């Protein structure tokens, strides 16, 4: 579930803090912090499922309030229950991590009733919701489509949600769009035949992805002084202080991946960190980082110091 792109981003955030602290932390503690940061991202993934459950529960509660009125309307007596009978949302509770989170006040959104109400009002007033409710088709495809619409139109770019997430973790807003995409992709795999077997994906797709983060942060931290020297040698007449701190962090991690992970193609490494730089650093950072990495790669390759094997040999 956690891709190598997200592992790199979490490594960047963790390594940034490590460099700021100087030599006050050992490598083991940095690895543990990276693992904690990645697990926090997964916690947000679970948290988003709980948010959807809470919204659908709120809609169901509104229907019950209407039914129990002293003089209910015809529509309140016979409400359209298509929305609240979403089989995918019901299947979320088949996963033990989600049910555990729903019993936790810190994760089940019980502390944000006004936000849940506001989110439901946004959804129920949207044209896509009215179109969905007026469509007589009832299917897993429709259940998926309404969740997809809610996430893409009312959750990903919700300013109040961003405020709530920032209160809980300074990194969660960075993760939100990626994790929403993962949620959508995961539920898309289910149909009438397997929806009752719904499960969240594991934190990592495989052991290699898990080891990738541990190796990257460890070997980058161990070789930070050597990487500073390589960067300065490639710049000529520059001082380290002239390099933006985040650019230095990104360069270190790119060099760690380039020189310490033999099976990773250099082109993949450079492209990944350029994309990260475009999103997290200054407007000119990606051009600067690209120039430095290209130069260092050429020098390492010509000197025979580039240790690559397997897929890492792909140009």
**pLDDT beyond 60 at 105:** yes
Q: At a CB cut-off of 8 Å and minimum separation 6, what does 264 contact?
A: 257, 258, 311, 312
Summarize the confidence of residues 72-84 as an average pLDDT: 90
Tokens of 219: 């070997």
Residue 309 has pLDDT above 80, yes or no: no
Give the per-residue pLDDT at 245: 94
- pLDDT of residue 75 exceeding 60, the answer is yes
> Which domains are present in the chain?
4-197 (no CATH), 223-313 (1.10.940.10)
pLDDT at 112 > cutoff 90 = yes
**CB of 15 within 8 A of CB of 252?**
yes
Average pLDDT over residues 124-139: 97
DSSP assignment, residue 202? P
pLDDT band for position 74 (cuts 50, 70, 90): confident
Q: Which pLDDT band, with edges at 50, 70 and 90, does 150 fall under?
A: very high
Cα–Cα dist 230/210, whole Å: 28
Residues 305 and 255: beta-carbon distance below 8 Å:
no
Closest alpha carbon to 53 in 100, 12, 3:
100
10 Å CB burial of residue 51 (0-12, 13-18, 19+) is buried
Q: Note the pLDDT tens digit of each residue in 248-269.
A: 999 999 999 999 999 999 999 9
The pLDDT value given to residue 226: 95
When pLDDT is cut at 50, 70 and 90, the band that residue 306 belongs to is: confident
Phi and psi at residue 204, to the nearest 5°: -115, 150
Cα gap 221→29, rounded to integer Å? 11
Q: What is the pLDDT of residue 239?
A: 74
- Residue 311: per-residue pLDDT: 65
- The tens digit of pLDDT for each residue in 25-47 reads 788 999 999 999 999 999 999 99
Among 19-28, 75-84, 126-135, 252-261, name the one with the lowest average pLDDT: 19-28
Distance from C-alpha of 67 to C-alpha of 62, rounded to nearest angstrom: 9
Averaged confidence pLDDT in the chain: 93
Give me the torsion for CA of 244, 250, 253, 258, rounded to 10°: -110
CA 301 → CA 98, 293, 306, distances in Å? 49, 12, 5
Residue 313 confidence (pLDDT) above 60: no
Confidence of residue 191 (pLDDT cuts 50, 70, 90): very high
Give this prediction's pTM.
0.90
Average pLDDT, stretch 86-92?
Answer: 98
pLDDT, position 271 = 96
Percent of the chain, pLDDT > 90? 80
């Amino acid at each position: 579930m956690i891709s190598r792109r997200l592992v790199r981003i979490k490594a960047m955030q963790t390594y940034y803090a490590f460099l700021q602290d100087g030599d006050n932390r050992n490598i083991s503690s940095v690895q543990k912090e990276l693992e904690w940061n990645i697990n926090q991202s997964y916690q947000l993934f679970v948290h988003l499922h709980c948010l959807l459950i809470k919204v659908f529960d709120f809609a169901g509660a509104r229907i019950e309030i209407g039914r129990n009125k002293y003089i209910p309307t015809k529509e309140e007596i016979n409400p359209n229950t298509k929305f609240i009978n979403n089989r995918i949302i019901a299947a979320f509770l088949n996963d033990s991590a989600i049910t555990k989170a729903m019993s936790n006040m810190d994760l089940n959104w019980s502390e944000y009733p006004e936000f849940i109400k506001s989110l439901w009002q946004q959804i129920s007033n949207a044209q896509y919701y009215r179109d969905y409710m007026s469509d007589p088709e009832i299917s897993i495809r429709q259940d998926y489509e309404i969740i997809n619409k809610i996430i893409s139109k009312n959750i990903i770019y919700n300013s109040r949600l961003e405020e709530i997430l920032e209160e809980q973790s300074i990194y969660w807003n960075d993760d939100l769009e990626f994790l929403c995409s993962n949620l959508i992709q995961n539920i898309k795999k289910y149909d009438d035949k397997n929806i009752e077997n719904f499960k969240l994906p594991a934190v990592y797709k495989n052991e290699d992805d898990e080891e990738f983060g541990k190796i990257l942060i460890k070997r980058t931290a161990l070789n930070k002084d050597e990487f500073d020297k390589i960067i300065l040698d490639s710049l000529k007449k520059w001082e380290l202080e002239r390099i933006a701190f985040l650019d230095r962090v990104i360069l270190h991690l790119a060099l760690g991946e380039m020189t310490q992970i033999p099976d990773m193609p250099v082109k993949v490494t450079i492209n990944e960190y350029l994309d990260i730089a475009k999103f997290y650093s200054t407007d000119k950072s990606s051009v600067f980082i690209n120039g430095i990495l290209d130069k260092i790669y050429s020098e390492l390759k010509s000197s025979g110091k580039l240790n690559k094997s397997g897929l890492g040999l792909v140009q």
